[in-house]
Every structure is written in structure tokens, then in C-alpha cells.
Chain A
């Protein structure tokens, strides 16, 4: 897009002197131009009249400086266009004015197209010569054009509030048109209805940088603020990427878990069956025989396997080092309800090697009958909890991006006819520098 564009001054620009103020008025749109607005005094003139009759004048008017000067040439879609007209249009929502700028672009072979600008958001607009079909979606009005469904965004009356340069139609400040906007980001389909007809146009979202590049404008474009109706959300791509990354890492984690689990010794160090109560009248608590935890420090898993039937038992354990007396206290509630066997497991991480015994204190909820159970100790058992925590952490980024995506769409629709309270949320002022 950054090819050099031949300057408009290569040819003598046709023109005349404004009958109102005498300033030079350029005619760049050939015979297509019906009305031309003097850049000096802003009088609207009849371009088809031999005397360039004055159609509208203004005592005092605030001037608006177009960001792309009239007469600039730029290349869009491989075609050179010249800016020949500029207008500001305004809608009122809940009494608040919202203004945007429209640049009329011309090429003698390809005809006219438009650029619109609102708060640093640009659209590249062309008229549509097919009639979109009504296609309501989810109870909201919508239209269909060329296989794409557009959702209704906003209906308003647009008033022309400032004009400059040339127009191939009869333009006046104060012109009004009923505008309906439908969106399928990055596209925006608009219907403008006047007394005589409805004209549809299709816009595509454009960044300020693209416009600056196309027209070789100095400095940098004004930054875009807020979310525009048809601004493409950056999130769907980002969301897909973070999910893909998340799934890859989850896969790695799963493989790692399988690998570690396969490599883990899961070496049995103690196994014994017991009966509770052991003898009537004795204390429930007892200690097991001493067993050896060999090798390096590793996790120790205790499995409790019971024959509970519709009952519950609570086990208090202490894993005690015979030599040092260091103890790991933990408890487990084992419950049986419905089918299957009542069993549970407990994992003690990083226990140093040495000779150990278990202190066990079972308690039967029903306090009657007998309980048969087996205790099994294995060392070097990988901790599943670590993997669950890691998996959970991996899911955090896509969840956050997902929340971002939802709030982006919320900001978009906030500005529509379907926003929550368009009056309360709007405190921005119009930027007309």
C-alpha cells in the first residue's frame, strides 16, 4: 500500500472563484459534482449553474479540519483515489450528540467511495447495489447480504452538520437521513433512507495506520478510543492461540504424569490387616510394627481398605520416625454408602528414609459391630494433586482471555440500541479539533 501515488497537481485542477467571497474553488470531481462548498467561506454552491449560484451561506461556522486534506491522493484496493469532499454528520442519542467524519473519495474510472472516522476508528465504505434481505437473529432484527448475516446495531437520524469540498449529490448542512446500522465485524452494513430512496452501503473496519499509509500522511493517526461497532475483536484469535497453547501444555503435563507414574517405584513397604475393635475393653489406638523406608526422601502413600457397609469410620494416623520421633499427623474419614468398597488414600510428601511405624486410631461412627480393614504403605508414589494444580494454572490464561473477549463484546454493544443505559455510561465529549 505504500507505493508512490502521483500527486494531484500533475494536472491543472479546474476551478472558479467563489461568488460569495472570491476565493478559488477547486473542481476535482469533473461533471459528477453537483454541489461544491467553498473551502474559504463554506458557502454551498451549485456546481451545475453557470454562475455557481449560492445555495446556502453561514454567518459563523466552526471550522473542522479534515485529517486528510481535500485533494490528497491515496491508494485503496490498488486504485488511486482523490479526496474531493468532507462532511461531518451527527446523531443524537438520549440528547447527546455523536459526530463522525466522512471523506468522499473519487476516481474517474472506479467512481466514488467513502472513508468514515469516529474517535480514531475508520471505515472503508462502498455503496451496495443489492438489496439485503431481512434476517432476524435471536429475536433481534438483522439482514443478510452475500451469504453473511448482519445484526442490527443502531437506528438513528443522521444530520449533516458540516460540509466542505465537492459532492455528486445535492448537499446542504441540515440534511437528514434515517440511518440503520447492521454489523458483522469487521463489516458494517448501513441503510440510509431519505424521502426518495434507501441507499445501502458496506463498510469495512480500517485502522488509522492503514489510512495514514494509504494517503502517506505525516505524523501518526489519532489513537482509537473505545470499541467501535464493527471493530474486529482481537480476542477470538488470541483465545484460540491461548487454548491451543493450554491444550499443548496439558498434553505435556499428562505425558509427564504418565512418565513419572511409570518410572515411580510405588514400592510396597508395609501391609497389614486389622480388625476393630481388636479386643473388647482395650484402647482403640495402637502402633504398627516398624518398617523400613529405604533410599532417598520420597512420598509415602497410605491406602485404607475397609469392609464398611453403610457406615463411616474415622482414622487418625501418625507416621513416626523411630529414631528421631518426627511425626506426620493426618486423618481420613472412610465412608460407605451404596455399592463398592469403602477405601481411601492419603499421601505424605517427602519423607526422609529411615525406620518408621504408624500410630493408628480408628473410630467407627455407629460404635457397634466390627470393622475389618487393611493398611498398605507404599513409597515413591507420585502426588496427583500437583498435576491437578498445574493443570488448573494452565487453564487460567485462556479463561482470562475469554473474560476479555466477553467484555470486548459488551463494550461494543454498550454503544448500540441494546446497551444497558446509553445515557449513564456516556461522559465522553465530542472531539472536534
Chain B
């Protein structure tokens, strides 16, 4: 584990992932971007709103026999509640996402297809069909979400956004795709719905009265 000190408050910053681009100081909530050995403070995030995800930073689990640890998160909010995108680092140092929307869980990975290979936002409507990696997906909803905050280590700079547009697509067998239109170049995430118990999560948050 690499360590550094927060340029703002001097607190120790532990990196769980050597390739982290951004992290947030757990003490002063400064958003810190890594430049080789230096950390640059680019801004500050407010307190995260209370949420009830049982996942937390440093939780560990298993996806398709591969152990992972939760190192960061992005919290979104939309008209029907909020959801978390937990940033996972697998034992082989690869990165993935565990989304938790009202305790419905899904694991996804950034697809190499991006930018011009993806449909522009204005051509995506409910019911439109696309195919990636031989799997057909159908747009189930377009979600305008508000970015509510970040925590921990992320693979890119991501903070202080306003509104974000997502296209959610469903395939067969619980597979799904998300196109993230928050950047000029859209990003595609491909994944599948997972059962909570299959993730064999440890280090979870505790809820009083529940075990």
C-alpha cells in the first residue's frame, strides 16, 4: 500500500490501488489528483448525504471467483432515489464497478468501445437495440442523474459534476449495459445483475437490529 499526505490537511492518505488517478481525503474531503509522486488538491467535496448501502470502502468480496476490494465510490441521485457505483479493484489489479440501487446489485466493467463507436445521446431512445460482444441490448430507460459526491480512489478524475445522462440497456440473462454521457466521449459499461449472497461480501456496514 502506497501512502502520501494530504496537501491540504496533512492527513495520511493510503492508496489501496497503485493506478488510482483520484482520491478524496477522508478527513478534509479534499479531492486529490495524483501526478507521479505529488498529490494535487483540485477541489473539495461536501459531506456525502446519508445512504443505506450495506457496502463500504474496504469491503471485500468475490466476483466469478476473483477477489475484489472496494476502494472508491460515486454517489448519484435521481428522481426515484439514489444509487452507488462502488469502485472495485480485483486481485489482478483490474478495475470494475459494483452498483447498488436500493439493494439491487450489479457488477460491470468499462468496455473498450467508446467515443465515436457508441451511439450519440440524441439517437438513443427507449426500445432502441444495440449489440456489443455478440449480446443484444435494448434501451430500458434514460436517466438524468445528479452527481452527489465521491469517496475514495477512482480510475479517473471525477468530481463537481452537475447533471449526468445515462442510458440503461438490458440484455437477456440479467445482462445490462450503461452508456455514460457525462463526458464528451461517451463510455460504455457492460455487466450483469448479481445476487447479494453470491458476492460473499465481508467487512460490510452494520445495521443496528440486523445481523
Residues of chain A lying within 8 A (CB to CB) of residue B171: 130-131
Q: Please, how many angstroms separate the alpha-carbon atoms of A170 and B52 in the complex? A: 18
Q: Which 9 A-B pairs have the closest CB atoms?
A: A11-B209, A111-B103, A30-B52, A129-B193, A31-B52, A11-B208, A131-B170, A108-B207, A10-B209
Indicate with 1 or 0, residue by residue over B102-125, a CB within 8 angstroms of chain A CB atoms. Answer: 111010000000000000000000
**Interface residue total, chain B, C-beta cutoff 8 A:** 33
A337 CB → nearest B CB, Å:
65
Known contacts A8-B209, A32-B52, A197-B141, A110 near B172 by CB under 8 Å: no
Residue of chain A at shortest CB distance from B55: A109
Find residues 119-154 in chain B having any chain A CB closer than 8 Å to their own CB.
Answer: 126, 138, 140-141
Q: Please, how many angstroms separate the alpha-carbon atoms of A10 and B208 in the complex? A: 8
State which size class the interface on A falls in.
Answer: 20 to 34
Residue of chain A at shortest CB distance from B80: A169
Whether the Cβ atoms of B173 and A130 lie closer than 8 Å is yes
Residues of chain B lying within 8 A (CB to CB) of residue A168: 81, 102
Whether the Cβ atoms of A109 and B176 lie closer than 8 Å is no
Whether the Cβ atoms of A32 and B102 lie closer than 8 Å is yes
Whether the Cβ atoms of B138 and A131 lie closer than 8 Å is yes
Option from B54, B138, B172 in Cβ contact (under 8 Å) with A108: B54
Known contacts A11-B209, A127-B104, A131-B140, A109 near B54 by CB under 8 Å: yes
Residues of chain B lying within 8 A (CB to CB) of residue A108: 52, 54, 103, 207, 210
Total A-B Cβ pairs within 8 A: 78
B36 CB → nearest A CB, Å:
39
A317 CB-CB contact with B under 8 Å: no
Whether the Cβ atoms of B209 and A32 lie closer than 8 Å is no
Whether the Cβ atoms of B174 and A130 lie closer than 8 Å is yes
Find residues 98-139 in chain A having any chain B CB closer than 8 Å to their own CB.
Answer: 107-112, 127, 129-131, 133
Residues of chain B lying within 8 A (CB to CB) of residue A8: 209
Q: Please, how many angstroms separate the alpha-carbon atoms of A378 and B208 in the complex? A: 92
Whether the Cβ atoms of B102 and A109 lie closer than 8 Å is no
B51 CB-CB contact with A under 8 Å: yes
Whether the Cβ atoms of B140 and A112 lie closer than 8 Å is no
Q: Please, how many angstroms separate the alpha-carbon atoms of A169 and B80 in the complex? A: 6
The majority secondary structure among interface residues of chain A is loop
Chain A interface residues (CB < 8 Å from chain B): 6, 8, 10-12, 29-32, 34, 80, 107-112, 127, 129-131, 133, 146, 168-170, 196-198
Option from A112, A129, A196, A198 in Cβ contact (under 8 Å) with B102: A112
Q: Please, how many angstroms separate the alpha-carbon atoms of A131 and B135 in the complex? A: 13
Residues of chain B lying within 8 A (CB to CB) of residue A110: 103, 196-197
Find residues 197-211 in chain B having any chain A CB closer than 8 Å to their own CB.
Answer: 197, 204, 207-211
Q: Please, how many angstroms separate the alpha-carbon atoms of A198 and B170 in the complex? A: 11
Whether the Cβ atoms of B196 and A111 lie closer than 8 Å is yes
Whether the Cβ atoms of A131 and B172 lie closer than 8 Å is yes
Whether the Cβ atoms of A31 and B51 lie closer than 8 Å is yes
B48 CB → nearest A CB, Å:
11
Cβ contacts A to B, 21 pairs, < 8 Å: A6-B209, A8-B209, A11-B207, A31-B51, A32-B52, A32-B81, A108-B210, A109-B103, A109-B196, A110-B196, A111-B103, A112-B102, A112-B103, A129-B104, A129-B174, A131-B138, A131-B140, A131-B172, A170-B79, A196-B141, A198-B140
Residue of chain A at shortest CB distance from B104: A111
Known contacts A108-B52, A109-B54, A169-B80, A129 near B176 by CB under 8 Å: yes
Find residues 54-111 in chain B having any chain A CB closer than 8 Å to their own CB.
Answer: 54, 79-82, 102-104, 106
Residues of chain B lying within 8 A (CB to CB) of residue A130: 170-175, 193
Residue of chain A at shortest CB distance from B106: A129
Q: Please, how many angstroms separate the alpha-carbon atoms of A180 and B102 in the complex? A: 24
